[in-house]
Structure 1
Amino acid sequence: MPPVKRIKKIEINQVKGISNTIFDVELIPNKPTILVAPNGFGKSSFAVAFHSLRPSKLEIEDEHAHNGNAGAMPEIVITSTMDDGSEETLTANSGMNEISAAFSVYVIRSALKPRARVHKIQGNSIATASINVPDIELIGKIPPKHPLVYSYTESKQTFGSNGKAIPNISDVLKDVKLMLKIAQVDFSKEDRTGTRSSIARFRNHVNSRSGTTAQIIAAVDTAEIELLRQIDHIREIADIVKEFDTGKFGNQVNALCAAIQICELHKEKKEEFKACIKHFSYLHDKEYYVTKLKPLKATWKNIAPVEADNRLVLRFPLANQISNGERDTLCLVAELLRARRQLKKDRCILVIDEVFDYLDDANLVACQYHLTQMIPQWKQEGRQLFPLILTHLDPSYFNNFTFKDQKVVYLSRYNKCPETYVKEMILRRHDASIETDISKFFLHFHPSDRDLSAKFHTLGLYFEISTANKFNAYVKTQLDRYISKRNYDPISVCCAVRNALERAVYQKLDTADKPAFLDIHKTRDKLDWALEKGIDLPEQFFLLAVIYNEAVHIKSHRDALTPLFSKLENLTIRHMIEEVMKFCAETESHFAPPPAIPLPTPSSATVVAV
Structure 2
Amino acid sequence: MTLKVIEIENVKGIKKYSFNLDILPNKPSILVAPNGFGKSSFAAAFNLLQANGLVLSGYSLYKNDTANRPRLFIKYQKPDNTIVDLEADESINTIKDQFDCFVINSQIDAKGTGVNYGSEMTINPVILIDEIPEKVKFQYSFKSQQKIFGLNNKVLPNIKFLLSNSKLIKKINENITILTNALESQIQRKISEFVNEVNQESGTSSNLIEWIERNKIDSLNNIDCLSDLAQILYEFNFFNLKAEYFLAGIQIINLYNDSISDFEKACKYKIYELDKENYKSTLKAFNSTWRDIRIKESGKQLIVEFPEFHYISNGERDILTFVALLQQAKRRLKKHSNILVIDEVFDYLDDASLIAVQYYITQFIEEYSMTGRRIYPLILTHLNPDYFRNFTFSKQKIYYLDRRELKVNQHLVKLLINREHPSIQDDVSKYLFHFHTSCINKRLEFRALSLKETWGEGYNFDGFIDTEMRKYLNRKADYDPFAVCCTIRKRIEKLIYGKIVDMNSKTIFLDTHTTSKKLDFAESIGVIVPEAYYLLGIIYNDGMHWKKGQDNVSQIAAKLENLTIRYLIKDVFAQ
TM-score bucket of the superposed structures, by smaller chain:
0.7 to 0.9
Residue of structure 2 aligned with 1:566, choices 530, 545, 558 = 558
Corresponding residue for residue 401 of structure 1: 391
Deviations for 1:490-510, whole angstroms, at most 9, x for unmatched residues?
A: 111112222223333344444
Matched, 1:360 2:350: yes
Matches of 1:357 and 1:495 in 2, distance apart? Answer: 30
**Does the Cα contact within 8 Å between 1:49 and 1:76 map onto a contact in 2?**
no
Residue of structure 2 aligned with 1:501, choices 489, 492, 496 = 492
Give 1:269-288 correspondences, 5 Å limit: 269-288=259-278
Corresponding residue for residue 76 of structure 2: 79
Corresponding residue for residue 253 of structure 2: 263
Matches of 1:188 and 1:450 in 2, distance apart? Answer: 84
Change (3 A) 1:69 1:215: same
Change (3 A) 1:511 1:91: same
Matches of 1:402 and 1:107 in 2, distance apart? Answer: 21
Alignment: residue pair count: 569
Matches of 1:437 and 1:535 in 2, distance apart? Answer: 27
**Does the Cα contact within 8 Å between 2:56 and 2:70 map onto a contact in 1?**
no
The AA in structure 2 aligned to 1:33 is S
Matched, 1:53 2:49: yes
Matched, 1:185 2:180: no
Change (3 A) 1:64 1:210: same
Residue of structure 2 aligned with 1:542, choices 534, 545, 549 = 534
Matched, 1:317 2:307: yes
Matches of 2:60 and 2:118 in 1, distance apart? Answer: 27
Give 1:524-535 correspondences, 5 Å limit: 524-532=516-524, 534-535=526-527
Corresponding residue for residue 606 of structure 1: none
Residue of structure 2 aligned with 1:340, choices 316, 321, 330 = 330
Deviations for 1:434-464, whole angstroms, at most 9, x for unmatched residues?
A: 4454344432334555555555444433356
Change (3 A) 1:537 1:246: closer
Matches of 2:455 and 2:307 in 1, distance apart? Answer: 62
Change (3 A) 1:476 1:251: closer
Corresponding residue for residue 88 of structure 2: 93
Residue of structure 2 aligned with 1:15, choices 3, 6, 11 = 11
- How far the C-alpha of 1:367 sits from its partner, in A, is 1.9
**Does the Cα contact within 8 Å between 1:298 and 1:326 map onto a contact in 2?**
yes
Give 1:110-189 correspondences, 5 Å limit: 110-116=106-112, 129-160=119-150, 166-183=156-173, 184-186=175-177, 187-189=179-181
Matches of 2:311 and 2:395 in 1, distance apart? Answer: 37
Matched, 1:37 2:33: yes
**Does the Cα contact within 8 Å between 1:206 and 1:217 map onto a contact in 2?**
no
Unaligned stretches of 5+ residues in structure 1: 119-124, 585-610
Matches of 1:13 and 1:449 in 2, distance apart? Answer: 53
The SS at the match of 1:502 is: helix
Change (3 A) 1:518 1:162: closer
Which stretch of structure 1 is more off in the superposition, 495-504 or 50-59? 50-59
Residue of structure 1 aligned with 2:279, choices 285, 289, 302 = 289
Deviations for 1:73-113, whole angstroms, at most 9, x for unmatched residues?
A: 4022132263x6x2332413134444433333332112333
Matches of 2:193 and 2:426 in 1, distance apart? Answer: 95
Corresponding residue for residue 602 of structure 1: none
Change (3 A) 1:536 1:218: closer
The SS at the match of 1:337 is: helix
Which stretch of structure 1 is more off in the superposition, 430-439 or 48-57? 430-439
Corresponding residue for residue 491 of structure 1: 482
- How far the C-alpha of 1:126 sits from its partner, in A, is 7.8
Matched, 1:329 2:287: no
Deviations for 1:522-559, whole angstroms, at most 9, x for unmatched residues?
A: 33344344445554443212211121123224445554
TM-score w.r.t. length of structure 1: 0.81
> Who wins on radius of gyration, i.e. which is larger?
1
Change (3 A) 1:238 1:492: closer
The SS at the match of 1:170 is: coil
Matches of 1:359 and 1:404 in 2, distance apart? Answer: 19
**Does the Cα contact within 8 Å between 1:190 and 1:267 map onto a contact in 2?**
no
Which stretch of structure 1 is more off in the superposition, 538-547 or 44-53? 44-53
- How far the C-alpha of 1:205 sits from its partner, in A, is 4.9
Deviations for 1:145-193, whole angstroms, at most 9, x for unmatched residues?
A: 2113343334444555555554444333333333333333314345544
**Does the Cα contact within 8 Å between 2:111 and 2:117 map onto a contact in 1?**
no
Deviations for 1:286-325, whole angstroms, at most 9, x for unmatched residues?
A: 1222233332232522435333444332222133323333
Matches of 2:231 and 2:498 in 1, distance apart? Answer: 88
State the superposition RMSD in angstroms: 3.6
- How far the C-alpha of 1:282 sits from its partner, in A, is 0.4
**Does the Cα contact within 8 Å between 1:347 and 1:384 map onto a contact in 2?**
yes
- Percent identity at matched positions? 37
Matches of 1:190 and 1:441 in 2, distance apart? Answer: 82
The AA in structure 2 aligned to 1:106 is F
Change (3 A) 1:216 1:335: same
Deviations for 1:326-350, whole angstroms, at most 9, x for unmatched residues?
A: 3322222333333334333333332
Which stretch of structure 1 is more off in the superposition, 552-561 or 279-288? 552-561
Unaligned stretches of 5+ residues in structure 2: none
Matches of 1:43 and 1:131 in 2, distance apart? Answer: 22
Matches of 2:204 and 2:41 in 1, distance apart? Answer: 74
Matched, 1:579 2:571: yes
Which stretch of structure 1 is more off in the superposition, 484-493 or 407-416? 407-416
Matches of 2:260 and 2:525 in 1, distance apart? Answer: 89
